[in-house]
Amino acid sequence: QKEVEQNSGPLSVPEGAIASLNCTYSDRVSQSFFWYRQYSGKSPELIMSIYSNGDKEDGRFTAQLNKASQYVSLLIRDSQPSDSATYLCAVKSGSARQLTFGSGTQLTVLP
Amino acid sequence: DTGVSQDPRHKITKRGQNVTFRCDPISEHNRLYWYRQTLGQGPEFLTYFQNEAQLEKSRLLSDRFSAERPKGSFSTLEIQRTEQGDSAMYLCASSPRWEARGVNYEQYFGPGTRLTVT
């Protein structure tokens, strides 16, 4: 079982819709969670971090964390074609300094 | 804040050659990480520095790989006797010191060095 799992997609949504991206993790002592956006051929760009259960909103992005269910999600409201990218979920577990990444979900926003 | 920079951006080399990559972190960040990413996968951790000390190394980091951060600023990653399986994007990331009222583990990536071994 992979430590961080994401649906690889592709996920397609129409412009203006809400895109929902999901991630599960296996290590119960994980404490820090991150969403990165990666355009094709580019490096990952940090868009959200979340450390506590509940929702965290930043503009059109909302991260949701449920540690009991070991689940973290990212909602993108009013999706735009420029949001088309691969979204990577990353987790920091226990005393480790590094992040463990999922394989990413490819999102396409259709005009 | 100029961001994390990496050099070169692209490297093509022949199997068996040695290559070296450089990373310059964000200036006030004392923590530096190297990751490797292949097509369709997320980045995989290679090694971590806090200031000049290399504190963690992944099992992925074979004896052919070595990393340094001699003065706690820029870092280099060297691959000796490259193999075709080393072809990947090599990513460097940095993160700031602990904050006084909490923990900040956000990592910011550079543009990466794409290595192709022929």
pLDDT 10s digits, A41-76: 999 999 999 999 999 999 999 999 999 999 999 999
Neighbour tally for B90: CB within 10 Å = 23
Q: Is A103 within 8 Å of B41 when comparing Cβ atoms?
A: yes
Give the mean pLDDT of B51-80.
Answer: 93
Extended beta strands in chain B, E state: 5-7, 10-13, 19-24, 31-37, 44-50, 53-57, 65-68, 75-79, 88-95, 108-109, 113-117
- Looking at the complex, report in whole angstroms how far the Cα of residue B97 sits from the nearest Cα belonging to chain A: 12
Q: Is B106 within 8 Å of A98 when comparing Cβ atoms?
A: no
pLDDT value of position B61: 85
- Residue scoring higher pLDDT (A90 or A1): A90
Supply A38's token pair: 């990666």
pLDDT value of position A29: 85
- pLDDT, mean over chain A: 93
Sign of CA dihedral A84, A41, B26, A105: positive
pLDDT of B9 over the 90 cut:
yes
pLDDT value of position A62: 98
- Looking at the complex, report in whole angstroms how far the Cα of residue B89 sits from the nearest Cα belonging to chain A: 9
Confidence of residue A2 (pLDDT cuts 50, 70, 90): low
User: Closest partner residue to B48 among A42, A51, A97, by Cβ?
Assistant: A97
Q: Which residues pair with B53 in a beta bridge?
A: B50
- Neighboring chain A residues of B41 at a CB cutoff of 8 Å: 103-104
pLDDT of A83 over the 50 cut:
yes
- Neighboring chain B residues of A46 at a CB cutoff of 8 Å: 106-109
Query: Helix and strand tally (H, E) in chain B?
Result: 0, 11
Within 13 Å of residue B40, how many CA atoms lie on the same side as its CB? 3
- Neighboring chain B residues of A99 at a CB cutoff of 8 Å: 43, 45, 105, 107
User: Closest partner residue to B105 among A8, A42, A92, by Cβ?
Assistant: A92
pLDDT value of position B103: 57
Q: Is A88 within 8 Å of B40 when comparing Cβ atoms?
A: no
- Residue scoring higher pLDDT (A96 or A28): A28
- Neighboring chain B residues of A36 at a CB cutoff of 8 Å: 109
Q: In what order do the strands lie in the sheet with B5-7?
A: B5-7, B19-24, B75-79, B65-68
Give the mean pLDDT of B6-18.
Answer: 98
Structural contact between residues A101 and A109, judged by C-beta atoms closer than 8 angstroms: no
Q: Is A98 within 8 Å of B111 when comparing Cβ atoms?
A: no
- Looking at the complex, report in whole angstroms how far the Cα of residue A17 sits from the nearest Cα belonging to chain B: 26
Within 13 Å of residue B30, how many CA atoms lie on the same side as its CB? 9
Sign of CA dihedral B32, A102, A32, B104: positive
Q: Is B111 within 8 Å of A46 when comparing Cβ atoms?
A: no
